[in-house]
Amino acid sequence: AGVGSFVAEGKPQSTLLQIGNIESDIRARGHDYQYELLVAERIAISSDVAVWLDMRTGESVFHSLCLHFEDGTPVQLEDRFVNPRVVPDFLNQDLAAMPPSEYLVRHVPFDQIEHLVDAVLPTAEQAERLVMPTTEPCLLLTRRTWTRTVPVTLVRCLHPASRYRLGSRFRADGNPTAG
């Protein structure tokens, strides 16, 4: 009391019409961005991920897990699987210096994108990484990309719903609009 009025910042919003760059979005708001690579490995693909990537269970797939921060607060846990037949050099990149999404957008052509959004509760491990209670809802953005009908990547981006929102604005002809 007695120190004046304050305007609360709204939750950041990311688009669903394109592959957004979380670092650019955060920096455009004048905020500090940090990124932490937690895992970069080659693993045997599970049956649920194999279905998404049109692969056979047990085939080799690249997996990365990353945490993105805005002003020191975790805002996205990114869990990504990459088809090694399409991106054989994925793990040869310095993924600690350049996030997987940035590398893929710069170096791997894609011609289809699918976005699905679900409301979910985080697992205990996810909640711990995102520094949030397990009872707080999250937005889960699941994205797949293809190049010439071949699946390239499956990524699940988990956002605490209190810190992030997803949305788009577009014209009736389907083109994105500014403003």
DSSP letter assigned to residue 90 = G
Which band of pLDDT confidence, cut at 50, 70 and 90, is reported for residue 21?
Answer: confident
Specify the pTM: 0.84
pLDDT at 24: 83
The mean per-residue pLDDT over the stretch 115-132 comes to 96
Separation CA 150–CA 110 (nearest Å): 9
Which band of pLDDT confidence, cut at 50, 70 and 90, is reported for residue 1?
Answer: very low
- Angle CA 102–104–105, to nearest 5: 65
Mean pLDDT of the chain: 87
Report H helices in 39-123. Answer: 47-53, 100-107
Which band of pLDDT confidence, cut at 50, 70 and 90, is reported for residue 10?
Answer: low
Beta strands 13-14 and 73-82: pairing type? Answer: unpaired
pLDDT at 77: 97
pLDDT at 44: 98
Q: 11-26: buried (b, 16+ CB within 10 Å) or exposed (e) per residue?
A: ebebebeeebebbebb
Separation CA 86–CA 89 (nearest Å): 9
Least confident span in 2-6, 11-15, 16-20: 2-6
